[in-house]
Amino acid sequence: MTNHWNDLQNTDCALIIGANPAENHPISFRWLTKAKEKGGKIISVDPRFTRTSSQADVYAALRSGTDIPFIGGMIKYAIENNLIQKEYVAKYTNASFIVKADYDFHDGLFTGYDEATRTYDKTKWVFETAEDGTPVKDETLQHPRSVFQLLKKHFSRYDVETVCTVTGTPKQDYLDVCQTFCSTCKPDKSGTIMYAMGTTQHTVGSQNVRIYAMLQLLLGNIGIPGGGINAMRGESNVQGSTDFALLYDNLPGYLGAPKATVPEHATLKGYLEKETPPTGYWSNKPKFVVSLLKAWYGKNATKDNEFGYQFLPKGNKNYSHINLFQAMYKGELDGAFMFGTNPVVGGPNAGKEKEALGKLKWLVAMDLWETESASFWQKEAGSDPSKIDTEVFLLPASASFEKEGSVSNSSRWMQYRWKAIDSRGEARPDLAVIHELALKLKGLYAGSTKSADKPIQALDWNYGSGPEPDIDLVCKEINGYDLKTGKLLPGFGALLDDGSTSSGNWIYSGFYPEEGKNLAKRRDNKDTGGGNFLNWSYAWPMNRRILYNRASADPSGKPWSKEKAVIWWDAKQKLWVGTDVPDFKPITAPNEPGGVGPFIMNKDGVGLLFAPTLNDGPFPEHYEPFESPVPNAFSKQQLNPATVIMEGDFNKKGKNSKYPIVATTYRVSEHWQSGSMTRNQEWLSELVAHMFVEMSEELAKEKGIKNKDQIIVSSARGEIKAYAMVTKRFKPYKVNGKKVHQIGMPWHFGYKGFATGDTANRLTPHIGDANTMIPEFKAFLCDVRRADV
């Protein structure tokens, strides 16, 4: 989230799309209710009339997988009706930049496309630059190749008629959404966009998020109270685990992992030169990288050995979830660890992921429960144990209140949890187990003289001499030290690239600035202004609560409006002051060089309406899901041209003639993710005890299905049995004159726990977004029938 939960009370309009917070983030809704009490409006856009929709002022239905037309039409509406915040757009975005003549767009394809590799040559999408390398601009936004004019042209095709034909949204509902949300373009109004997996789990997931951000930039809604682009996280620490790089392509703090396929990455020098932009905050990247290497390799990281850079693994391919399971399915992996994860229920095309686990030689699962994934080899999983040679180690894990440590919520607030009780039975905290395993492995490698064993030998692992690791030492290592004095660092501004500082994750540096002062433990709940609670816990980066808050003030440093002030330039003190920590250099005056651009992480300090970095185009464009009931109305390109297609046995594709119904997955308030944390509890199991599939009255009638009937849902990947839940919450769509049905189902169920049921993900496909490879769980094709037919 650019903003935070408490800040939702400051919004004049919340557009909730691809998410259902009233159900899945229930307590967040208190702050939306407060906003409503102050006159704010809530818009819910969802294929189904959800609990969130029931609390909304405006509800609009859309067919799964059509967010880009929906928002693209809003962009056209805002531009045509002069509902954009012009000065903000001209000064704080790249709307004024001139794009080189190479760029073009025709029938669904941008220039530079190579069909054979399904990739784009992004050098065709670059800006014109002056001799000093700065972009050429036209702040009147009239130049025909200015980003603004190209954007206007691109979205001119997204007229209301075409949009509603594709999304299936009733026209009046659509216009209500446009009018209500675009009214937040006024400087004294703010609108927020809240989203979750309904947005990201598509083959165009990244562009879905991008188009929301673009609309927010046009309306001047980023960096202000009650504004922003707010991803609602589904797990208590999926924010933190992402920040700490439990993803193949990152190192902690969003530093790119070095790759064997980039020749420059062969050396630290080359890597830093290649990956460090000349301007913007990322120009400090060498300090973050070298400090990380010092945290990981300690004294074994020296100037002479590139600070241990060569110890890091360098991959040569995409190792993300779908590819990982395909490799496992082919028998290319020998062993795997699973820490509190359950892909046999939660993974896409879960039947195949279960089969893949059986190809491993060994599997280590650490969990509070015997999950479906840890016991994939059992008869009740549909497996023949005698034919599965995988050795499985199941380790009992402590619950969150049986240990201590911090978690980072969606607001980036790093809150500490204290230990309430000793672990149940022989369960142990993951920290202790990871620590002990590391020590054992280092022990096994201790005497080796092989060069291959140097990386593990060099890993600095000093967390106290007791049997349990000293968590305080881990916290301090993350924050980082001045290695000359041994003192903790006050923040990432103090990091250096000469090996004299360390920090295990630069974005968190500053949370532990002095001995005895772990700021994640703070519990002062006095509102310091604006609902920002600056003395409660710690928000990365540097306790900033509203990111890009420089944008709340105009170029001269005055707030755009009194109502939406966050920080402003105080000429007397020569300082940015306000109710939040400035997300900006606090002493840089607006009239100094670099005193205007609020988007400090971007090279030019502005928001990217035109993003030449994405794999599938500098502007979002509509493509149909991998499995779609209709042809793409916008171009000949049916599927995102840059998406990797993995067909064959591992991922069968269903035809819409055989599987005409659109399906999506969702969650219920009483269960959580793959269900292992809720279906193993008595009360929650009783509250929602059965797997169900929700459908419209119209579809039920066509199929002869009554409420509570047992039905079969089938896709090209498999079949599941469930109870029918016939409601008015789904309605058939009229898509290009054709009636299209959509159904939905929870993905919480499996065969373990108190409440059991068939697994929805047996139906979902192994195809991912063109940038992130996040699977397309939220739009696929199926058919339904009564179980007794």
Partner 1 sequence: MVEMNLNRRQFLKLSGAAAATLAIVELGFDEKNVYAKTKEFKIAKTKVTPTICCYCGVGCGILVHTKNNTVVYTEGDPDNPINEGKLCSKGTTIRQLYTSKKRLTKPLYRAPGSKKWEEKDWEWMLDTIAKRVKETRDASFIEKEEGITVNKTEKIASLGGAALDNEETYLLAKLMRGLGVVYLEHQARI
Considering only residues 454 through 473, tell me which ones interact with partner 1, judged by CB under 8 A: 455-456, 459, 469, 471
For partner 1, the closer CB: 13 or 312: 312
In this structure, the chain runs to a length of 789
**CB-CB contact of 668 with 746 (8 Å):** yes
The CB density around residue 684, as the number of other CB atoms within 10 Å, is: 22
Per CB under 8 A, 28 contacts partner 1: yes
Of 125, 98, 254, nearest to 616 by C-alpha is 125
Shortest spacing between CB 430 and partner 1, in angstroms: 5
HSE at residue 170, side-chain half, CA atoms within 13 A, is 9
CA 778 to CA 758: how far, in whole Å? 18
Q: Among residues 104, 188, 382, 393, which is the contact residue for partner 1, using CB under 8 A?
A: 393
For partner 1, the closer CB: 235 or 497: 235
Per CB under 8 A, 305 contacts partner 1: no
| Burial of 298 (C-beta count, 10 Å sphere; 0-12/13-18/19+) | middle
Shortest spacing between CB 264 and partner 1, in angstroms: 10
Per CB under 8 A, 478 contacts partner 1: yes
Per CB under 8 A, 405 contacts partner 1: yes
> How distant, in Å, are the alpha carbons of 315, 633, 642 from that of 119?
20, 23, 5
* Binding characters for partner 1, 632-671, by CB under 8 A (x = yes): -------------------------------------xxx
Per CB under 8 A, 248 contacts partner 1: yes
For partner 1, the closer CB: 49 or 248: 248
Of 291, 302, 279, nearest to 496 by C-alpha is 291
Q: Among residues 136, 160, 394, 689, which is the contact residue for partner 1, using CB under 8 A?
A: 394
For partner 1, the closer CB: 656 or 772: 772
HSE at residue 210, side-chain half, CA atoms within 13 A, is 22
* Binding characters for partner 1, 195-234, by CB under 8 A (x = yes): -------------------------------------xxx
Per CB under 8 A, 332 contacts partner 1: yes
Shortest spacing between CB 399 and partner 1, in angstroms: 5
Per CB under 8 A, 33 contacts partner 1: no
Subset of 150-189 contacting partner 1 (CB under 8 A): none
**CB-CB contact of 381 with 375 (8 Å):** yes
| Burial of 500 (C-beta count, 10 Å sphere; 0-12/13-18/19+) | middle
| Beta strand pairing call for 719-727 and 692-696 | parallel
Angle, helices 67-80/147-155, rounded to nearest 10 degrees: 120
Which of the ranges 9-17, 46-54, 218-226, 380-388 carries the binding residues for partner 1, by CB under 8 A?
380-388
Per CB under 8 A, 485 contacts partner 1: no
Per CB under 8 A, 390 contacts partner 1: yes
**CB-CB contact of 87 with 555 (8 Å):** yes
Per CB under 8 A, 55 contacts partner 1: no
Of 345, 432, 304, nearest to 750 by C-alpha is 345
3-class SS letters over 91-117: HHEHHHEEECCCCCEECCEECCEECCC
CA 595 to CA 587: how far, in whole Å? 9
Shortest spacing between CB 634 and partner 1, in angstroms: 28
For partner 1, the closer CB: 523 or 572: 523
The site for partner 1, by CB under 8 A, has a size of 163
- Record the tokens describing residue 570, joined without a space: 């105080």
**CB-CB contact of 127 with 98 (8 Å):** yes
- Per DSSP, the chain holds a count of helices (H) and strands (E) of 21, 29
For partner 1, the closer CB: 136 or 257: 257
C-alpha gyration radius of the chain: 26
Per CB under 8 A, 326 contacts partner 1: no
**CB-CB contact of 289 with 272 (8 Å):** yes
Q: Among residues 523, 562, 572, 728, which is the contact residue for partner 1, using CB under 8 A?
A: 523
Subset of 351-370 contacting partner 1 (CB under 8 A): 361-362, 364, 367-370
Of 493, 588, 503, nearest to 542 by C-alpha is 493
Shortest spacing between CB 349 and partner 1, in angstroms: 11
Per CB under 8 A, 343 contacts partner 1: yes
Shortest spacing between CB 414 and partner 1, in angstroms: 7
Phi-psi region of 47 (alpha: psi -120 to 50; beta: other; left: phi over 0): alpha
CA 679 to CA 688: how far, in whole Å? 9
The CB density around residue 352, as the number of other CB atoms within 10 Å, is: 21
Shortest spacing between CB 507 and partner 1, in angstroms: 11
CA 134 to CA 685: how far, in whole Å? 59
For partner 1, the closer CB: 196 or 213: 196
Shortest spacing between CB 90 and partner 1, in angstroms: 35
For partner 1, the closer CB: 282 or 445: 445
Which of the ranges 39-47, 397-405, 557-565, 639-647 carries the binding residues for partner 1, by CB under 8 A?
397-405
Per CB under 8 A, 9 contacts partner 1: no
Q: Tokens 């009650």 correspond to what residue?
A: 226
Per CB under 8 A, 310 contacts partner 1: yes
Per CB under 8 A, 284 contacts partner 1: no
Shortest spacing between CB 696 and partner 1, in angstroms: 27
Per CB under 8 A, 347 contacts partner 1: yes
For partner 1, the closer CB: 146 or 415: 415
* Binding characters for partner 1, 528-567, by CB under 8 A (x = yes): -----x--x-------------------------------
Subset of 501-520 contacting partner 1 (CB under 8 A): 504-505, 508
> How distant, in Å, are the alpha carbons of 65, 204, 312 from that of 738?
17, 23, 54
For partner 1, the closer CB: 126 or 687: 687
Shortest spacing between CB 46 and partner 1, in angstroms: 18
> How distant, in Å, are the alpha carbons of 29, 358, 501, 504 from that of 484?
48, 51, 8, 17
Per CB under 8 A, 70 contacts partner 1: no
CA 399 to CA 367: how far, in whole Å? 9
Per CB under 8 A, 673 contacts partner 1: yes
Of 41, 27, 413, nearest to 192 by C-alpha is 41
The CB density around residue 773, as the number of other CB atoms within 10 Å, is: 20
Per CB under 8 A, 620 contacts partner 1: no
Per CB under 8 A, 56 contacts partner 1: no
Subset of 723-782 contacting partner 1 (CB under 8 A): 753-754, 772-775, 777
Q: Among residues 56, 84, 204, 324, which is the contact residue for partner 1, using CB under 8 A?
A: 324
Of 388, 383, 364, nearest to 374 by C-alpha is 364
Query: What amino acid occupies position 188?
Result: D
Q: Give the angle subtended at the CA of 330 by the CAs of 626 and 360, to the nearest 5°.
A: 120
**CB-CB contact of 58 with 103 (8 Å):** no
Shortest spacing between CB 497 and partner 1, in angstroms: 20
Query: What amino acid occupies position 267?
Result: T
Shortest spacing between CB 476 and partner 1, in angstroms: 10
For partner 1, the closer CB: 416 or 723: 416
Q: Among residues 2, 3, 6, 588, which is the contact residue for partner 1, using CB under 8 A?
A: 6
For partner 1, the closer CB: 73 or 768: 768
Of 691, 693, 695, nearest to 726 by C-alpha is 695
For partner 1, the closer CB: 129 or 448: 448
* Binding characters for partner 1, 415-454, by CB under 8 A (x = yes): xxxxxxxx-xxxxxxxx-xxxxxx-xx-xxx-----xx--
Per CB under 8 A, 49 contacts partner 1: no
